[in-house]
Amino acid sequence: MQNRIDQLFAKKQHGILNIYCTAGFPQLNDTLPVMTALQQHGADIIELGMPFSDPLADGPVIQNSGTIALQNGMSLRVLFEQLQHFRERIHIPVILMGYLNPVLLYGVEAFVKKCAETGIDGIILPDLPMAEYEEVYKPIFEKYNVHLIFLVTPETSDARLRKLDSLSKGFLYAVSSSSTTGKDKDINMQQSYFERLQQMKLSNPVLIGFNIRDKASFDAAAQYANGAIIGTAFIRAIENSKNIDETVRTFIATIK
Amino acid sequence: MDIAINTSHSKYQVDKNGYYGRFGGAYIPEMLYPNVEELQQQYLSILSDPAFQQEFEALLHDYVGRPSPLYFAKRLSEKYNAQIYLKREDLNHTGAHKVNNTIGQILLAKRLGKKRIIAETGAGQHGVATATVCALMGLECVVYMGSIDIERQAPNVARMKMLGATVIPATSGSKTLKDATNEAIRDWINNPTDTHYILGTAAGPHPYPDMVARLQSVISEEIKKQLFAKTGDAHPDYVVACIGGGSNAAGAFFHYLDAEDVKLVAVEAGGKGVHSGFSAATTQLGKIGIIHASKTLLMQTEDGQIVEPHSISAGLDYPGIGPMHAHLYESGRAMFLDATDDEALAAAYELSKLEGIIPAMESAHALAKLKDLPLNAADVVVVCLSGRGDKDLDTYIRHMNK
């Protein structure tokens, strides 16, 4: 079967909405209800965060959601149990995002195999070095047809950007500015970087993430890329939600 | 004095890819790549530049007060039936070995054109040493410190502020050194061009473990010369150092790594006991993984979450060890012991009464293991007395009254 991420980009190239949520947040068993609501109300891709004790690339909001998820009892094993039958209900691409340490301890091949079995389409591991992926792990991801998605930033050189584009599969994750998540930087300041990405005619579709929080920033990013990723703003929206489905519906309605 | 640059290649030192055996590397998010890459490309050429070395040496001599004495501790030697020498890093300006590294890195930061300095600190010694060199060079200084450590090391917080630094509490996770380091790394991600991160220990992404070890290697370079002058032999039987991340141990071991006749002893913080659930004895409790962008031994749960450690000493309260030390442990080159909170306290009181020296809580862990080494009267032992105990007086007074 063709990877769902590739299927999506084959039929839709503009305005792709990827929403990040933390697994096991706000309540342990909210993972599937949140994912179901995201699909129902129009998200194109779900990026599911695997909580980690020391998330270096994340700002306070996502850090805190991970801390709560861990306190709720979330772990890789619990997550895979929750995801066991999710493909019966959810058909849009789902990506896992997390940090390398828990994946290393689980075993990279065991982890990727489990992802393939449950129906996960891609993985983002921001602290996995490009060279180590290329030399050690790439054959594993290819064997199971699970895409590893790399990040690029405004400081990434053209040569390195090309290399990351050649290794990334599914799409390339363009971090809007050099920052941790949820910094409220104005993405309009990054016009020249976005234009550089456009002009490079990269082989992957590009989604812009970090500091995308509302319709204005989503539309601004979507002008330059195939779509954008919203994380912190969504976590803020659902953290005190009494009705997940209604909160997700309202949130997406303000973006689209 | 001379920074160890042209040392012959040792199997215990870093390889060209930034690894010590299977440990090390740079597991950084892409946002940090330009900064870390710049350091990887430049640190060796900057450190080996004669002008840099001259400036470094002059500051270590005139400002820090090096060479630090190698003191023969007569009464301690009688007690433990050995020839015990203390490497007096406690007599350095700012009161610990940490300043050797911060002098080196501030000179490097200036050569890289950086305008702003960030650092993490546990006990506050590295924070003070960083605030000091920033004052000296007129650079902005931001120090991240766990909020628990801010409470237990109040004098050092006051020192940093007096020196002009901004101290920002780290309130995530265990609110100690691990989290202060996370916050410093996040600051660096958010300030990618004008900021240099002066990491205080021999941990973190390559090239920090190697860079910090080289800057601290002045400790063992001096020990060799001083010991030779005193005994006619530059090689002791034992070098003993405490280890949290491992910078004073890295410096004390550095020039002895290939001298297999010298036994290297690293003492970790056992906390309330290795299996009490309140410990920082990483080699006993840890498994290989990634902490602060380095592949090394660290304390973690079955799910790969990093564990919150415990030690009475804020400087050793760290759930990992530097990759060089992980390799020294795994290869058997160094012996790893652990001292409990109580053993360290007893050793601190003992050194105070026997030698008139109040050691830092961290250094007291190294002293605490003298009783467990199989010593003979002729054995020469060098203990790295990494810092002085002023900052720990509250802790010492509290436990004295117990």
What sign does the CA torsion over B61, B69, B106, B136 have? Answer: negative
- Contact (CB<8Å) B290/A180: no
pLDDT of residue B8: 53
Averaged pLDDT of chain B: 95
**Among chain B residues, CA nearest to A76:** B303
Exactly one of A30, A44, A58, A121 is catalytic; which is it? A58
**Among chain B residues, CA nearest to A179:** B190
CA B195 to chain centre: 22
> pLDDT band for position B402 (50/70/90)?
low
Span A80-134, pLDDT tens digits: 999 999 999 999 999 999 999 999 999 999 999 999 999 999 999 999 999 999 9
Distance CA B220, CA B242 (A): 15
- Distance of residue A63 Cα from the nearest chain B Cα, in angstroms: 8
Our CA dihedral for A224, A230, A233, A239, rounded to 10 degrees, sits at 170
Overall residue count recorded for chain B in this entry: 402
For A182-201, what is the mean pLDDT? 87
Q: Which residues of B touch A (CB under 8 A)?
A: 25-31, 33-34, 172-173, 178, 182, 185-186, 189-190, 192-193, 287-293, 300, 302-306
Number of other residues whose CB lies within 10 A of the CB of residue A19: 27
Lowest mean pLDDT among A223-232, B76-85, B323-332, B391-400: B391-400
Number of other residues whose CB lies within 10 A of the CB of residue A99: 28
User: Which of A53, A175, A180 comes nearest B186 by C-beta?
Assistant: A180
pLDDT of residue A1: 81
> pLDDT band for position B176 (50/70/90)?
confident
One-letter identity of residue B3: I
**Among chain B residues, CA nearest to A154:** B31
Distance CA B85, CA B381 (A): 6
User: Which of A132, A160, A183 comes nearest B190 by C-beta?
Assistant: A183
Q: Residues of A with CB below 8 A from B306's CB?
A: 53-54, 101
- Contact (CB<8Å) B172/A60: yes
Q: Given a cut of 90, is residue A184 above it in pLDDT?
A: no
Exactly one of B120, B268, B350, B362 is catalytic; which is it? B120
Q: Given a cut of 70, is residue A216 above it in pLDDT?
A: yes
Q: Residues of A with CB below 8 A from B300's CB?
A: 101, 105
Provide the CATH number for the domain formed by A16-255 in this structure.
3.20.20.70
- Contact (CB<8Å) A56/B186: yes
Span A195-215, pLDDT tens digits: 999 999 999 999 999 999 999
CA A151 to chain centre: 10
Contacts of A198 (CB under 8 A, 6+ apart): A224, A225
- Distance of residue A55 Cα from the nearest chain B Cα, in angstroms: 8
Distance CA B101, CA B201 (A): 9
Q: Which residues of A touch B (CB under 8 A)?
A: 52-54, 56-57, 59-60, 63, 67, 70, 75-77, 99-106, 126-129, 132, 150-153, 155-157, 160, 164, 175, 178-180, 183
Tokens standing for residue B102 = 């911060």
Span A148-165, pLDDT tens digits: 999 999 999 999 999 999
- Distance of residue A134 Cα from the nearest chain B Cα, in angstroms: 14
- ipTM, two decimals: 0.95
pLDDT of residue B7: 55
User: Which of B30, B33, B173 comes nearest A53 by C-beta?
Assistant: B173
Q: Given a cut of 60, is residue B37 above it in pLDDT?
A: yes
Number of other residues whose CB lies within 10 A of the CB of residue B385: 32
Place of tokens 């590009």: A206
For B60-79, what is the mean pLDDT? 98
> pLDDT band for position A171 (50/70/90)?
very high
pLDDT of residue B238: 98
Distance CA B390, CA B31 (A): 39
pLDDT of residue A187: 75
- Distance of residue A51 Cα from the nearest chain B Cα, in angstroms: 9
For B364-387, what is the mean pLDDT? 98
Known catalytic residue at A58: yes
Residue B386 backbone dihedrals phi, psi, to 5 degrees: -70, -25
Span B133-161, pLDDT tens digits: 999 999 999 999 999 899 888 889 999 99
For B95, B172, B242, B319, B323, the CA distances from B316, given in Å and listed in that order, are 16, 19, 8, 9, 16
pLDDT of residue B382: 98
Distance CA B255, CA A147 (A): 46
Q: Residues of A with CB below 8 A from B34's CB?
A: 155-157
For B118-142, what is the mean pLDDT? 97
Q: Residues of A with CB below 8 A from B31's CB?
A: 57, 151, 153, 155, 175, 178-180
Tell me the angle at which helices B208-216 and B98-111 cross, rounded to the nearest 10 degrees.
120
Lowest mean pLDDT among A4-13, A179-188, B368-377: A179-188
Averaged pLDDT of chain A: 96
Q: Given a cut of 90, is residue A189 above it in pLDDT?
A: no
Distance CA B19, CA B13 (A): 8
- Contact (CB<8Å) B293/A56: yes
- Contact (CB<8Å) B290/A127: yes
- Distance of residue A99 Cα from the nearest chain B Cα, in angstroms: 9
Distance CA B327, CA B253 (A): 13
3-state DSSP assignment of residue B66: coil
Distance CA B14, CA B34 (A): 21
Distance CA A21, CA A8 (A): 20
Distance CA A170, CA A122 (A): 8
User: Which of B25, B185, B192 comes nearest A155 by C-beta?
Assistant: B192
Tokens standing for residue A133 = 């992926």
Contacts of B143 (CB under 8 A, 6+ apart): B118, B119, B120, B121, B127, B130, B131, B160, B165, B166, B167, B168
One-letter identity of residue A112: V
Q: Residues of B with CB below 8 A from A176's CB?
A: none
Span A52-90, pLDDT tens digits: 999 999 999 999 999 999 999 999 999 999 999 999 999
> pLDDT band for position B9 (50/70/90)?
low
Our CA dihedral for A63, A64, A70, A73, rounded to 10 degrees, sits at -150
User: Which of A105, A157, A178 comes nearest B300 by C-beta?
Assistant: A105
Q: Residues of A with CB below 8 A from B289's CB?
A: 101, 104-105
Number of other residues whose CB lies within 10 A of the CB of residue B36: 20
Evaluate whether A93 touches A5 at the Cβ level (below 8 Å): yes
For B319-324, what is the mean pLDDT? 97
Evaluate whether A99 touches A51 at the Cβ level (below 8 Å): no
Q: How much is the CA Rg of chain A, to the nearest whole Å?
A: 17
Q: Residues of B with CB below 8 A from A107's CB?
A: none
User: Which of A76, A128, A180 comes nearest B303 by C-beta?
Assistant: A76
Residue to test with chain A: of B38, B40, B305, B308, most A Cβ within 10 A: B305
User: Which of A54, A70, A179 comes nearest B182 by C-beta?
Assistant: A54
The secondary element (H helix, E strand) that includes residue A250 is helix A244-255
Tokens standing for residue B107 = 């000179």
Q: Is B111 exposed, middle or buried (0-12, 13-18, 19+ CB in 10 A)?
A: middle
Residue to test with chain B: of A63, A100, A105, A232, most B Cβ within 10 A: A105
Distance CA A188, CA B366 (A): 55
- Contact (CB<8Å) A151/B29: yes
Evaluate whether A151 touches B30 at the Cβ level (below 8 Å): yes
Determine how β-strand B83-88 pairs with β-strand B195-197.
Answer: unpaired
CB contacts < 8 A (A, B): 105
The closest alpha carbon to B365, from B380, B384, B347, belongs to B347
Known catalytic residue at A47: yes
Evaluate whether B30 touches B333 at the Cβ level (below 8 Å): no
Tell me the angle at which helices B98-111 and B33-48 cross, rounded to the nearest 10 degrees.
100
One-letter identity of residue B79: K
Distance CA B236, CA B261 (A): 8
Span A8-40, pLDDT tens digits: 999 999 999 999 999 999 999 999 999 999 999
pLDDT of residue B2: 57
- Contact (CB<8Å) A156/B178: no
Q: Given a cut of 60, is residue B6 above it in pLDDT?
A: no
For A79, A147, B377, the CA distances from A85, given in Å and listed in that order, are 12, 20, 70
Q: Buried b / exposed e across B195-213, counting CB within 10 Å, b at 16+?
A: bbbbbbbbbbbbbbbbbbb
3-state DSSP assignment of residue B132: helix
